[in-house]
Structure 1
Amino acid sequence: MEGTVLHLLHLLRLRYTGAEDEVAPYIAGHVAYLERHHAAGTFLVSGQTVPTSEGGAIIAHGVDRDAIERITAEDPFVTSGVAEYTVTTIAPGRAHPALADVLAPGL
């Protein structure tokens, strides 16, 4: 399993636990959290869902499930109690060639 950890993808679904305006005081911290994990290469894509009132989503890679659970627990939205994550881990079997550098040599 150790060799395959880098090839796992995680779909992180962020859901607000209350009204959308309750997250406003924590946006700056959440953005810093996103930037930190994008810079580290763990987060590949992040963004708000449509409609935005539902929350957001992230695609992450390069870490195992335990690590991604720890990472999501550190989000200021989560530590402040205004949102929660659902994590779906994916072991890619097929992917578009444009993703080869991210997923290789796992495929």
Structure 2
Amino acid sequence: MLYAITLYYTSPKDELEKSIDAHKKWLADNIKKGSVIFAGPLDDGTGGFILAYGLDSTDMEDILAYDPFVNLGLVKTEIKAIEPGICSSHFYAEWAGNAKVL
């Protein structure tokens, strides 16, 4: 299952900057483990976005709990499960599930 995760900043920028390196390390570690597909800041500066892969929502919540931004209460999270319906042939098959490949 894929998960669209939006992080909304709830803390001042200086508080976020204190934990940015730890947050980036958490992202890098989870990319290497295969849990995070990609991540980046939102263009409007209000937070960030993570596309993640996991077995179920509880699994994803457990993984997110270790993100310093989350466990320090610096962000509010919104997690949406996504079941791909169609996808590009370039999209990794494991993430696509039963999606029709175009």
Q: Aligned to 2:87, what secondary structure does the other structure show?
A: coil
Tell me the percent identity. Answer: 29
Out of 65, 71, 77, the position equivalent to 1:85 is 77
Q: Does 1:18 align with 2:11?
A: yes
> Is 2:41 the counterpart of 1:68?
no
C-alpha change, 1:62 and 1:106, in structure 2 (3 Å) is farther
Q: Where do 5+ consecutive residues of structure 1 fail to align?
A: 1-7
Q: Distance in 2 between matches of 1:76 and 1:88?
A: 20
Aligned length: 99
Question: Partners in 2 of 1:99 and 1:32 — Cα distance?
Answer: 25
Please give the alpha-carbon distance, in whole angstroms, between the structure 2 residues aligned to 1:60 and 1:105.
14
Flag as ranges the 4+ runs of structure 1 deviating above 4 A. none
Structure-2-length-normalised TM-score: 0.87
- CA-based RMSD: 1.5
SS in 1 for 2:86: coil
Structure 1 residues 79 and 105: CA distance shift in structure 2, 3 A = closer
Q: 1:35 aligns with which of 19, 28, 33?
A: 28
Any gaps of 5 or more consecutive residues in structure 2? none
Higher relative contact order (CA 8 A, sep 6+): 1
Q: Normalising by structure 1, report the TM-score.
A: 0.83
2 CA distance for matches of 1:81 and 1:37? 20
Q: Which has the higher helix share?
A: 1
Q: Secondary structure at the match of 2:7?
A: strand
Q: Indicate if the aligned counterparts of 2:84 and 2:96 stay in contact, CA closer than 8 A.
A: no
Structure 1 residues 40-98: Cα deviation after superposition (integer angstroms, max 9, x where no partner): 0111110011122x110000113211100111121101111111211000111111221
